[in-house]
Structure 1
């Protein structure tokens, strides 16, 4: 926890003026939260569509579960591609530049995938999914933008508001995939899945536009002005690594976020194929998968405000412990379900989403509260880089595990991975204090 600094005097006016009073900061934060809320709805809708069609598209092109899992993992882990330049852009231009860059890369990804579909080229489609994953990166980075100007006692709640906003788009997104396909086929014709990709591209363009126009003043740059760190040296991902290495709280947050993301992606990426393989009519798979993954994404985001409130009142450690337990339970429920038991699979996927929510909100609050505004982009970027690499590792591993040993063994493996965070949570670290202790 860092000491607060008085606001420096200023005579400037307009959207880039330094806040003079706590009231000014509160007003700016309300505008930031409203803008991020809107972008998370749009971006969440794009991500939800991408999750629903990714594995199905690539399996149809290749006939292989292994390649399908690879495409899905690259979608969720595509942040590993953009995080390094995005941190540099954020350091220079603030959150607005970094977030807009992420969605612009996602638009490029949709164009690559559409070209790959027309060419029937699976490797190009996988590359496009890697770029498309930038939308997932931007959505995750938005939670940090919500925390830049948040009061310490409400940091978890403000983080959670933005995470929760994704619910409105992400829950509907998988179901919208089928609607987008039918509409595109009726209007333009062409190969399957082009309609879904076009819808994602349009949504990402709209999201980037809202960020560019309305995320003013920039929350990160404003936080640096308030703390007197405007002249602090620019930092890189390497600086974030050094911070995590030296700071036990940051290190714990990074590990918890990465392992939680690994488990979520590993199980979620192969669930669509597990369901499809158990259906008598595989043509109906997209509809069923859309409903189940929509509920899973609802579990990821819908209860985020409750999780954020628990972080504020009890601290990050108990929330991370609870998240780990829920992830293990999710693996047990989903992994023991036959492929035609859609009810049990749905329950497991909802629990999987809830456990991910606890790990993501708890770790983000822990990392943000342990560093100064000048250290945040590099440290948070390093955390998201590790999350992206974990997601790619999960997807790459999940395909072969399912192909050779089955979906149940994949869930056992992911449950073991979830438990690897326990030694870090049992260790000592001076994280941010709960609200009632810091009041």
Structure 2
């Protein structure tokens, strides 16, 4: 029997449960491969990128601004990736993002060669597309997951990506060999390697992510919805509309899905220009998040945890550099931080599925707070800075994994890509503001003050959790 295609017309036999389980396993394997390559390629940006920015713009404060362009790029790309996923599936959206990031890495090399701040900013923004793809990969892992295994599915892909995330910040060392061999400017060799890796990630996803998990999940849920309506004698609805009603966390995601079911083989899902739902998806997504308490809390937790993590991480290389650390030490500290972000993700996902996301998120806030305090008192000690960055990364993971599962479960399958994209846009936009402000804060008051001023953001999430509990969420 031929392998089922996620874009097949409604007359094509639906895949059996066994085939869906096989597709789920292949999807997780492909996403894991893409996550390793993508994180490895984009991993130079947090450690080497800020140093490259400092070398090009020759200003600490402006280095933070230039470095924040990566986060701004991730924010700008998030929603288009969600809408592309609805039209082309996760495969086309993710592959396009990594291809753009590979181009951005090439522009960073050119920016250093010609000493162009404009090219530096554009290159950083395009590299941010790779970061956006890395974030949305976790949602792709949940597309075909059972409702009680979403946290574990997300965590698995996040955890496997640890390999690339830990090694990526250390691309500066092999990059130095390329710089010496090819006569490239300092700090650019890492981006030559990173660009090649992200190009390979784009190709791997484009070739291997079949059938597309998002389009297949919508098709399966659409079929179940049609069957339920038929048996209940309910009137059919326009198959081109995406229902904007929220669903409960424990909904089976089948009652409100009215996404297109008839998709031609190997063709992108069409979206008529006149379709009003397509024009208002971002606005509707943000309104939906606002009106669903669990979605609103999940997004608040994601946004503010990311703000704290990015603000502290952005200026850590500069802080270490001021105290005489070489590029190897900087890469090692960032690797320890990234290990905290991803290394324990499977345990976090299992805890989220068993205990519920809200208690796990509160635990993550506590770890983040301890990490920020340790960073505030670290001073010139590289070891203490490393401990602080590990705790900040771990706290971020313990918040983000359950929050992503919570946001996914709060809306229907057809709503998810745009809601997820809008969430990532908000997360990265706020973090970009933190990255921009972190440079002046460190320049005026120091790295310890930067760590301390992030703490009120954590208090906001604790208050939001208390309100959710009082509301019965």
TM > 0.5: yes
Provide Cα deviations, 1:199-255, integer angstroms capped at 9, x if missing partner: 111011000001100111111101101111432864622221011011111111111
Q: Where in structure 2 are there 5+ consecutive unaligned residues?
A: 223-257, 262-276
Contact 1:315-1:432 within 8 A present in 2 as well: no
Tell me the equivalent position of 2:173: 178
Deviates more, 1:204-213 or 1:413-422: 413-422
Query: Which SS does the other structure have where 1:420 is aligned?
Result: helix
Tell me the equivalent position of 2:185: 191
Tell me the equivalent position of 2:333: 292
Tell me the equivalent position of 2:405: 365
Deviation at residue 429 of structure 1 after TM alignment? 6.5
Tell me the equivalent position of 2:232: none
Bigger Cα Rg: 2
Which structure 2 residues correspond to residues 274-423 of structure 1 after superposition, within 5 A? Answer: 274-279=319-324, 285-339=326-380, 341-423=381-463
Deviation at residue 12 of structure 1 after TM alignment? 8.2
Q: Where in structure 1 are there 5+ consecutive unaligned residues?
A: 1-10, 434-439
Query: Which SS does the other structure have where 2:260 is aligned?
Result: coil
Deviates more, 1:292-301 or 1:53-62: 53-62
Separation in structure 2 between the aligned mates of residue 278 and residue 165 of structure 1, nearest angstrom: 33
Provide Cα deviations, 1:155-185, integer angstroms capped at 9, x if missing partner: 1000000111111011111122221221342
1:258 aligns with 2:248: no
Tell me the equivalent position of 1:133: 128
Q: 2:316 aligns with which of 258, 268, 271?
A: 271
Tell me the equivalent position of 1:81: 76
Provide Cα deviations, 1:323-362, integer angstroms capped at 9, x if missing partner: 11111100000111112x1111111000000011112101
Separation in structure 2 between the aligned mates of residue 374 and residue 64 of structure 1, nearest angstrom: 46
Q: 1:230 aligns with which of 242, 259, 283?
A: 259
Deviation at residue 22 of structure 1 after TM alignment? 2.6
Tell me the equivalent position of 1:60: 55
1:38 aligns with 2:78: no
Q: 1:21 aligns with which of 16, 40, 47?
A: 16
When residues 347 and 19 of structure 1 are mapped into structure 2, their CA distance, relative to the original with a 3 A threshold, is farther
Provide Cα deviations, 1:360-419, integer angstroms capped at 9, x if missing partner: 101100000111101101110110000110121110110010011111110011122222
Deviation at residue 13 of structure 1 after TM alignment? 5.1
When residues 432 and 379 of structure 1 are mapped into structure 2, their CA distance, relative to the original with a 3 A threshold, is farther
Contact 2:179-2:186 within 8 A present in 1 as well: no
Tell me the equivalent position of 1:145: 140
Q: With the length of structure 1 as denominator, give the TM-score of the two structures.
A: 0.91
Number of residues of Structure 1 aligned to a counterpart in Structure 2: 417
Tell me the equivalent position of 1:105: 100
Separation in structure 2 between the aligned mates of residue 274 and residue 93 of structure 1, nearest angstrom: 43
Deviates more, 1:288-297 or 1:191-200: 191-200
Q: With the length of structure 2 as denominator, give the TM-score of the two structures.
A: 0.85
Q: 1:94 aligns with which of 68, 89, 93?
A: 89
Q: 2:64 aligns with which of 43, 56, 69?
A: 69
Deviation at residue 286 of structure 1 after TM alignment? 1.0
Deviates more, 1:126-135 or 1:319-328: 126-135
4+ residue segments displaced more than 6 Å: 429-433
Deviation at residue 322 of structure 1 after TM alignment? 0.7
